[in-house]
Structure 1
Amino acid sequence: MKTLYLECNMGAAGDMLTAALLKLVPDKEASLARINAMGLPGVEVRAEPSVKCGITGTHVTVTVDGQEEESCDFHHHDHEHPHDHEHPHDHEHPHDHEHPHDHEHPHDHEHPHDHEHPHDHEHPHDHEHPHDHEHPHDHAHPHDHEHPHLHTHPHGHGPHSHSHAGLEEIRHLIGHLQVSGWVKDQALAVYKLIAEAESHAHGVPVGYVHFHEVGAMDAVADVVSFCLLMEELAPEQVVVSPVHVGSGQVRCAHGILPVPAPATAHILQGVPVYGGAVQGELCTPTGAALLRHFATSFGSMPVMTISATGYGMGKKDFEWANCVRAHLGNTDGEGDQVLELSCNLDDMTPEALGYAQELLMEAGALDVFTTPAGMKKNRPGVLLTCVCRDGEGKKFADLMLRHTTTLGVREKQCRRYVLLREILTRSTPYGEIRVKVAQGDGFTKSKAEYEDVARAAREHGVSISQVLEALK
C-alpha cells in the first residue's frame, strides 16, 4: 500500500508541509510549474534549499505581486499595534465591526531588536518594519478591490495586503483556479474545517467568520499547493505522528491567547498532540486543518519500505531542526482499518436521501451507498452505509443522525486491502485526461477519471466513447 508518513515533531504549517511533499514528487520543477499555473493572481511559489541543524531541506516562498508576505501583527482598525512579541500568522476572526477609513493607528513605539518573528507558517502581510523609524498613519485606506477579498492598505512604509474574505469568497476564488475538481474539493474542505473552528472559538455562525491572515493569497497558495501535490502523489494512506504544538502564549487581534490557539486546539480534538520546551506557536490552524483532513490515522511510523524522504523547512531557527519530515513508501501486505456506519431508513424522500449522501461524501467519506432492504411492517426501505476512516466515526455518525430520519447509527470496524494507486495524466486530441492506475499481485487496472472525460466530451462536442477511444 502506498503510504505517506508525516513527522510533525516540530509542529506543522502549510508552507512547511508543501515543501516536504515537493521532494517526494517525481519531477519537482514540473510540479512547481503546475502550481504556478493554477491561476492565483500575482502569486508565485518558489522552492529554495534551506539548512536547519545541518540538515538540507526545502523552504517554500510565496510572493504576491513580487513581494514576499512578511510577518506582522493582526490589524484591526481600532487598536494599537504592539510589536514586542511573537507574531502569529494565520488566525482568522469574525469581522462584525465597521471599518472606518479615516482612523489613525498610533505607532509611537520602538521596535526592539531582540524579539522573535516565527516564519514557518502563513505570512499574511507583505511589509517590512525597519527598526529605527516612526510610522505616520494619518492616511486614508483606499479600497479598490481587484479581487473579491484582497484589501490593499498603504501605510506609508509598504503595502499591507489585508484579506477580509468569508468562506463564500474563498470558495469563489478556489472555484476559478486551473486545478482539478478533486483539488478544489479538498482545498474547500480544509477551509471549512478552519471556518468551523473559528466559529466555535468566537461563538459566531460560520457565515460571519472572515478569514484575515489565512485568507490572504499566499495562504490560499499553501493550501491548494498541498492539495495539488497530494493528488499527484495519491497515497493510499496518510499516517501522521503526534503533533508538537509548542507552548507559551501567542498574541492575536483578540489579545494574548494560550498555545495552541483556540482554533488550532479545536481542529486537533481527538488528535494526539503535545507541548514542549519550545516557546511559540509551532502548529498553525492551516497546518492543523491540512493534517486533520488528509490523515487516515495518527501514530508512530508503520512498518514500511521508504522510497523517498522530504524535509520542509520553516524560517525560524530553534535548538531543534525546524522542519516537517515526510516519508513516502510502501506497506506491502498490510491493510488499513476503516469504519462502516449504517442505518435503516423507510421514511425519507429520494431527494432528502440523495442530499444526505452528498453531504457525507463532501465531508470526506471514503464511500457512501444504499442497499434495498425489507423493513418491519413489510415496508420497503434502504440500508444507508457510510465508509469512513478509523477515528472519524463520531463525525459521520453525527451527520447521519442530523440529516436522515434514523434514530440510531450502527458502527462496525473493518480491515480493507487495497491496490497501490497513482494518478497519471495522458494527452489526447481532446486535452489532458487523468487516469487512475492500480497495481498489485502482478496485475494492473486502469480507469479514466469520469469528470475529465465528460468535460472533454462537452468542450469538443463529441461522445464519451470517442474520448475513451482516444485514450487507447
Structure 2
Amino acid sequence: MKTLYFECNMGAAGDMLMSSLFELCEKKELFLTTMNQLFSPEVKLTPLKVSKNGIMGTQMQVLIHGEEEGVYDFPEKKHTKEHHHHHHASYSDILAKIKTLDLPSVVKENAAAIYQLIGDAEAAVHGTTIEQIHFHEVGTLDALVDIVGCSYLIYLIAPEQILCSPIHVGSGFVKCAHGILPVPAPATAQILKGIPSYSGEIVSELCTPTGAAILKHFVHEFCSMPVFDIQAIGYGMGHKEFKTLNCVRAFWGENTPSANKDQVLEISCNLDDMTGEAIGFATELLMEQGALDVYTVPIQMKKNRPGILFVCLCSPKDKDRFTDLIFTHTTTRGMRYQSYERTKLISSSSTVSTPYGDIRIKESVGSNIKHQKPEYDDVKKAAKTHNVSLEDVYREIRNS
C-alpha cells in the first residue's frame, strides 16, 4: 500500500507541508506551471533549495505582486508593505475563488473542506458563525496557495493512506490580529481537538491553523511511523531558525499489507424513553456523519423497565463531535466511553466488468489472509436493471 507519512517533530505550517510534498512529487513542472497559471499574475510560486543544520531541503517562496507577502503562516505574519496588513476575506469569498480554479473537482473540494475546518474553528473560539468570520492572513493569496498547493500535490502523488506523527505545537505566546495569545493559538487548539499533540521547550508557534487543518483533513491516522519500505523523503523547510532542524519530513513508501492495529472509541448510553423511529433516526444520522458503526442491544433496566443499549463506535479523534450528536439526537443525560485496541485487515477496492455492468469488489488483505467480496449494492442494481437473479450476477463476476 502506497503510504505517505508526515513527521511533525517541529510542528506544521502550510508552506512547510507543501514544500515536503513538492520534493516527493514526480510531476514538479506540471505542479509549478499549473499553480502559477492559476493565480497569475498576482502570484509567483518558486521552490528554493535551502540548507538548514547542514541538511538540504525545499522552501516554497510565494511572491504576491512581486513581494513576499508573509514568511510565517497565520496568525503571525511579516509583511513588506503596511497596506497588506488589513486584507480580509469572507468564507464565501474564498469558496468563490476556489470554484473558479481550473483544477480537478476533488482538489477544489479538499481545499474548500480545509477552509471549512479553519472557519469552524475561528467561529467557535470567537463565539460566532462561519458566515460572520472574516479571515485575516488566512484569507490572503499566499495562504490560499498553501492550501490549494497541498491539495493538488496530494492529488498528483495519490497515496493510498496518509499517516502522521503526533504534532509538536511549540510553547509561549504569539502575536496576532486579536492581540497576544498562548501557543497553540485558540483556532489551532480547536482544530487539533482529538489529534495527538504536545508542547516542548521551543518557545515559538510551531503549528499553525493552516497546517493543523491540512493535516486534520487528509490524515487517516496519527501514530508512530509504521514499518514500511521508504522510497523517498521530502524535507519541507520552515522560515524560522532554531538549533533543531526546522522542517516537516514527508516519507513515501510501500507499506506491506498486514493486519493494521489502531484504537477505536466506544460511546454508549442506556435509553428507555425513545420510540423505535427516533432511535432509528439517530442511528442513521450517526452513520451518515462517519461513525464506524452504530448498534443497539435490548437490555433490562432498573425497576424492570425494558430499554435499549445505544452504542456508537468511532475514531478517538471524533469523540467530542459524536458526543454532541448523541446528546442532540437522543434523550440520554449521560454516556460512557471505552477505548479498545483494534486489529483490522487492509481494505481496498477494484472494479470488474461484466455483461451486467461494472461491479466494485472489496478486498481485505493481511496476516496471510485475502478476502474478496462484490459490493452488494452494485450486484443488486445490476440484477434489477437486467431482470436477472443475484446468482446470475455473481456467476458473471466469478467468470470475469
Q: Same fold (TM over 0.5)?
A: yes
189, 206, 209: which is aligned to 2:133? 209
Partner of residue 84, structure 2: 160
What RMSD over aligned residues (CA atoms) do the two structures have, in Å?
4.1
2:206 corresponds to 1:279 = no
- Partner of 2:84, secondary structure, is strand
SS at match of 2:108: helix
Aligned to 1:259: 183
CA contact (8 A) 2:194 2:317 kept: no
Match of 2:74 among 79, 90, 94: 90
Q: Secondary structure at the match of 2:207?
A: coil
Cα displacement string for residues 198-232 of structure 1 (whole angstroms, at most 9, x for unaligned residues): 22222223322210011101101101110111122
Letter paired with 2:162 = V
Does the 8 Å contact 1:353/1:404 carry over to 2?
no
Structure 1 moving runs of 4+ over 3 Å: 37-41, 122-125, 335-348, 350-358, 365-368, 385-388, 398-422, 438-442
Partner of 1:62, secondary structure, is: strand
- The 3-state SS of whatever aligns with 2:34 is helix
Moved more, 315-324 or 215-224: 315-324
SS in structure 1 of the partner of residue 86 of structure 2: strand
The aligned residue for residue 62 of structure 1 is 62
Shift in Å, 1:37: 3.5
Report if the CA contact (8 A) 1:161-1:216 is conserved. no
The structural deviation recorded for 1:406 is 8.7
**Preserved contact between residue 341 and residue 393 of structure 1 (Cα < 8 Å):** no
Q: CA deviation at 1:340?
A: 9.8
Separation in structure 1 between the aligned mates of residue 286 and residue 218 of structure 2, nearest angstrom: 22
Q: CA offsets per residue over residues 267-312 of structure 1, 9 Å max, x none?
A: 2223222222322111111111112222222222111110110000
Alignment: residue pair count = 341
Q: Any idea what the Cα deviations from partners look like across 1:49-100, whole Å, max 9, x if unmatched?
A: 01100000000011122222145xxxxxxxxxxxxxxxx6413xxxxxxxxx
Q: For residues 353 and 265 of structure 1, do their structure 2 counterparts lie closer, same or farther at Cα, with a shift above 3 Å needed? A: closer
In structure 2, the residue matched to 1:397 is 322
In structure 2, the CA distance between the partners of 1:367 and 1:276, relative to structure 1 (3 Å rule), is closer
Match of 1:191 in 2: 115
Match of 1:200 in 2: 124
The structure with the greater share of residues assigned to helix is 2
Which amino acid counterpart does residue 59 of structure 1 have in structure 2?
A: Q
Query: Normalised by the size of structure 2, how large is the TM-score?
Result: 0.70
Residues 165 and 225, structure 2, Cα contact 8 Å, conserved in 1: yes
**8 Å CA contact 1:50, 1:56 repeated in 2:** yes
CA distance in 2, matches of 1:399, 1:39: 40
8 A contact 1:57–1:311 mirrored in 2? yes
Specify the alignment match of 2:49 in structure 1: 49
**Residues 338 and 416, structure 1, Cα contact 8 Å, conserved in 2:** no
CA deviation map 1:119-148 (0-9, x unaligned): xxx8574x25xxxxxxxxxxxxxxxxxxxx
Instruction: Calculate the TM-score normalised by the size of structure 1.
Output: 0.61
| Closer/same/farther in 2, CA of residues 276 and 47 from structure 1, 3 Å limit | same
The superposition leaves residues 10-68 of structure 1 with CA deviations (integer Å, 9 ceiling, x where unpaired) of 11100000000111112222222233333466222211101100000000011122222
Residue matched to 2:160? 236
3-state DSSP of counterpart to 1:23 = helix
Could you say if the C-alpha distance between residues 328 and 252 of structure 1 is closer, same or farther in structure 2, counting changes exceeding 3 Å?
A: same
- Amino acid in the other structure paired with 2:86: H
Deviation string 1:224-275 (CA, Å, 9 cap, x unpaired) is 1101111222223222112221222112222221111111122222322222
Give the partner amino acid of 2:226. P
Further displaced range: 173-182 or 408-417: 408-417
Distance verdict in 2 for CA 1:254–1:410, change over 3 Å? closer
Q: Report if the CA contact (8 A) 2:46-2:60 is conserved.
A: yes
Give the match's secondary structure for 2:112: helix
Q: Which segments of 5 or more consecutive residues in structure 1 lack a partner in the other structure?
A: 72-87, 92-121, 129-154, 376-384, 423-437, 443-472
Is 1:311 matched up with 2:295? no
User: Equivalent pairs: percent with the same residue?
Assistant: 41
Confirm or deny that 1:290 pairs with 2:214: yes
Equivalent residue, structure 1, for 2:99: 175
